Every structure is written in C-alpha cells, then in structure tokens.
Amino acid sequence: MSEPMLTFDNLTLGYDHHPVVHHLHGEVAQGTLLALIGPNGAGKSTLLKSIAGELRPIEGKIRRRDPAPGGFAYLPQQTALDPTFPISVFDLVAMGLWRRLGLFGGLGLSGRRRLEEALAQVGLTGFERRPIGTLSGGQLQRARFARLLLQDAPLILLDEPYTAIDAQTVDDMAELVGRWHREGRTVIAVLHDLEHVRSHYPEALLLAREAIARGPVRDVLSPANLAHARRLAKAFDGHAAVCHRHAEAA
C-alpha cells in the first residue's frame, strides 16, 4: 500500500490557544475525493489551513506527503481575494506557475500556451486582459480554478469553492473537480450544500470541532449524525479556558 497523502495524529488546532478542532485522528489516501462538512464554526476551514501549512497545531501532528513536482494547491475562500487589486486575469492565473518558474521567471511560449489552455478549460478564453475587478463572482472563481489547473498538484484543497456564484459555474467547476478525481488526485473540499455533496462526493468527514463521522456520504449524512453535530456546535463555549500546555510552550 502507498503512503497516505495525509495523516492526522491527535491533531488539535486553534487560535490564541483556544482549540477549534480537537484530537483528530485518521488518514486520507491518495486519490480520495473528500467533502468536509459541518455547522458554521465547526473547524472545517481551520483544518484546511493547517493542511496547507498556514496554521501550526496546538497539539499533535499533521503529516502531508508532497510527491514531486506539484506539492499541493490551495483555494481559500473567495473573500480572501481583493477584487479591487489592479491585476489582470492573465496575471492572476499565471500565479499558478510561480512554484515552477520562480517569482521572476518568464512564462515563455510553453507557459503561455498552458495558461491559454487553462482559461479555455474554465470558459474564460478572451478574458486575459480583463481586470479582475470587472469580473462577476462566477467569472472570478473560474479564473481561480484556472490558476489551480496550472499548479498541476496531486493534492487540491478547496475552501467553500461554490459560495455566491451562479449555478452554471458550480456545475462546470464540479465537473473539473470530478476530472481531477478521475486523474487520481486527492481533493478535499469544504462544502455546505449537502445535496451537492450527495451528488458529487463519495466520502465525507463531518466535523463539529471534533470528528463526528467519516466514511461513505450516505452513512455520514444520517439524521442522527447531523443532529449530533448541531448539538455540539450549539454547546461550544467560546470563552473556554486556553490550552495551557501550548500557552506555556509558546
């Protein structure tokens, strides 16, 4: 058996020493298509940030296997991008090649061809010189997916990729995610639309600051599991004591 793409070993995550995700254990195999679901504030985005290396664990470990050459690709929530920033669609998408070319590396003919192909795959041919501030929400998300395409990564992390975009863009980008899965890439997506999860994802992890259930979607999304997750989310005490073990270490 190949080494897991991800391993969680007693993983506890949080901010200012206040735990948000508690004692997570488990593995994510290469080629998994996994939906991260749960109530608001359940720790889903926090877990993605930790996988991406943006958040250090309070306790435990997360191990990520990065097969050469692509490593991982991370799509934060769309609100993380300022649409007023003076940048074109071409420049935004070209950022997907930075890991391979370096900050000051030139695209060259092959890079430009790959960029044009990525734009075509997301339906943005002819948008290269458009400022991102002129795009609709769906068009901007298509450009961000084109950037992911250029990264050509074996592990793809998507944080609420379909929030506030049109239905056609959701369908088109979901088809792209399905293609990544068929190619053997590992895709983990934070999602809120449970019907979309049921239709497009074989496996889910239900979080409510701890793992409630993990496995086939039809089993994870049981009424009992969803009710349990809602109860835990409502019972969370945002003023709970800090994790002194980590506070002392810091």
Provide the pLDDT confidence category of residue 105 given band limits of 50, 70 and 90: low
Average pLDDT on 79-108 reads 78
Report whether 220 contacts 38 (CB < 8 A): no
Mark whether 52 and 162 lie in a shared domain.
Answer: yes
- Regarding whether 93 and 127 lie in a shared domain, the answer is yes
- CA–CA distance, 75 with 69 (Å, rounded to integer): 18
pLDDT exceeding 70 applies to what percent of the chain?
88
In tens, the pLDDT along 142-196 reads 999 999 999 999 999 999 999 989 999 999 999 999 999 999 999 999 999 999 9
Q: What is the pLDDT of residue 240?
A: 45
Residue 75 lies in a domain: no
The reply to whether 116 and 164 lie within a common domain is no
Residues 63-76 have a mean pLDDT of 80
* pLDDT the model gives residue 78: 82
Q: What is the mean pLDDT of residues 128-150?
A: 95
User: Is residue 243 a contact partner of residue 18, using CB atoms and an 8 Å limit?
Assistant: yes
In three-state secondary structure terms, 17 is coil
> pLDDT averaged over the chain?
88
Residues 142/122, Cβ–Cβ less than 8 Å: yes
Same domain, 159 and 127: no
- CATH number for the domain that contains residue 185: 3.40.50.300
Q: Are residues 39 and 27 in the same domain?
A: yes
The H or E element containing residue 74 is strand 72-75
- Strand, helix or coil at 86? coil
Higher pLDDT, 133 or 248: 133
Domain that holds residue 103: 84-153
Number of domains in the chain: 2
Q: Confirm whether 96 is domain-assigned.
A: yes
Which of 135, 153, 171 represents a domain boundary (last residue)? Answer: 153
Cβ–Cβ < 8 Å for 236, 41: yes
Express as a percent the part of the chain with pLDDT over 90.
74
Question: What mean pLDDT is predicted for residues 239-245?
Answer: 44
